[in-house]
Structure 1
Amino acid sequence: MPEPLFSRYRDAIRGLDLSAVTAPERIPEAFLLARAGRYSTHYIPFESVHAQARVVVAGITPGFAQWKNAMREAQRALAAGAHDADVLRAARLAGAFSGAIRPNFVALLDAIGVQHWLGIASCATLFDADAGLVQVSAVLRHPVFVDGKNYSGTPAPLRQPFLREQVLRWFAQEARQLPDALYIPMGASVSATLDWLVEEGVIGAGRVLHGLPHPSGANAERVAYFLGRKERAALSGKTDGARIDAARAGLLAQMDALLAGRRG
């Protein structure tokens, strides 16, 4: 069930003039959740949790563009008379892994066998018929800005008390609702944060899938090599083929163990 937080912001979202919000510092104070020195975090309607989700894709935090897209979608849904739960679901899905990043992401998940874990033919349907099986999230659920700019992951959340508290307050709450899900971190800071949540008992041991290349276009060579679409001899000097090989082997072994454990 959605938290009551949305009810506090519903009217502010309805009345928000998005055209006037041209930068993070222009976000109205009504949406400010917390501030500590250079850091601020602002409400985004991302409270929807798919109770049946069996895969959680975790990024670092929504950026300003994603905040605007979510608010725009929430306004559209509210204007259409949608119920709160439907507004929140639509806002959270708006723009999730859109564009060129989506086919890369699907191919990476299929390559390690996540579709078998889910019992579907391909992870491509996670963005359509099987959308309820995946939770697209962020370890810092509500957008964090540093000096009015998108937080990029530095310093790592675990090294900054304000950020660590945000992880525990919002993301850990989601994770406790999805005890049987697998977690796919998008980036090194996210990986470290998920490992910490495993140590804290929030996420089960062995349920974090480390080592998938980020599916962005900027990471095209690593993705291509992981998927076997590029030979090792053709890699540029910036790509460590041995490291990718080891990550792939580890992920395949981990998925085999998870599937075997479920069958057992």
Structure 2
Amino acid sequence: MSDFLARFAPVITAASEAEIREDPTLSGRLVIGSAGDLTVSYAPFEHVVPTARIVIVGITPGAEQARNALLEVRRALVAGASHPDALARAKVFASFSGPMRNALIAMLDHIGVHRSLGISSTGSLWSTHAQLVHFTSALRFPVFRAGENYRGNPSMLRTPLLRAQLDEGLAQEASVLAHAIWVPCGPKAADAVNEMVRRGHLVPERVLDGMPHPSGANAERIAYFLGRSSRDGLSVKTDPVRIDAARETITARMARLVYEAPEVPGSA
């Protein structure tokens, strides 16, 4: 059972859904650490799926994901669910929720992750094949900078408050799920995953580094990665050379992983 959930369950269940929607830190009652203008707040993202064959890594849960996870864990606890079951429900419900889920599914299917897993689409990772995926973040718990979602600055590798989350959360997950495919979403998440490679927890051949982050702000990069737009007319913020190189590396690694992949009974 999560020590954090045991600590915060009374606070979460006592709050109304309206309070959680208004402020996912519950006016600071869920804060577990701070330094300068950085704040780390609890949200129920500590569940790990030991059967996972793919790990999808973001930077940190944002306010929207924190709200969704808190609301779902509250519903589960009020309905009488055990802490482990409540954590599992909250993790799948809230991970990469919102519009970016569709973009992420499109990119994962585009590079052939579904074929490696033996399923028809990675969309089912959020439903019928949830046992195959572990959703996580470089920083397990939501981090806010001056009240806004943390977006990678200051560096999580050089900031003690944030590095502690890597040491306690992501490093443990990497050790448990070293056999899985690791997909960091965006360069900041990739920095954290590659730190796990440097520490010897993961091998680079199982890391699919270079896919654009599935946020709406990256719509142009995502469209180019998916082959839905050509180089003509791309804005200066898009780096097609880097995206092409990443796609080539990912495609080569996926080809080997698909070849090695065992079948998943009943999942075709």
Using the size of structure 1 for normalisation, the TM-score is 0.89
Q: Deviations over 1:32-75 (max 9, x none)?
A: 32233333312211121111111111111112232222211111
User: Aligned partner of 1:48: which letter?
Assistant: H
2:85 matched residue in structure 1: 86
Aligned partners of 1:25 and 1:148 also within 8 Å: no
Aligned partners of 1:18 and 1:68 also within 8 Å: no
SS of residue paired to 2:204: coil
Aligned partners of 2:116 and 2:258 also within 8 Å: yes
Say whether 1:164 aligns with 2:127.
Answer: no
Aligned-pair identity (%): 42
Aligned partners of 2:25 and 2:41 also within 8 Å: no
**How far off is 1:99 after superposition?**
4.1
1:117 matched residue in structure 2: 116
Instruction: Please list every run of 5 or more consecutive structure 1 residues that lacks an aligned counterpart in the other structure.
Output: none
2:179 matched residue in structure 1: 180
Say whether 1:27 aligns with 2:45.
Answer: no
Q: Deviations over 1:126-177 (max 9, x none)?
A: 1221122111111111112233332221012012122111111122222222
SS of residue paired to 1:158: coil
2:266 matched residue in structure 1: none
Using the size of structure 2 for normalisation, the TM-score is 0.88
Alignment of 1:185-200 (within 5 A): 185-200=184-199
Moved more, 248-257 or 168-177: 168-177
**How far off is 1:23 after superposition?**
4.2
Say whether 1:146 aligns with 2:162.
Answer: no
Aligned length: 261
Aligned partners of 2:57 and 2:136 also within 8 Å: yes
1:100 matched residue in structure 2: 99
Distance (whole Å) between structure 1 residues aligned to residue 25 and residue 73 of structure 2: 21
1:126 matched residue in structure 2: 125
Distance (whole Å) between structure 2 residues aligned to residue 243 and residue 13 of structure 1: 44
**How far off is 1:26 after superposition?**
4.9
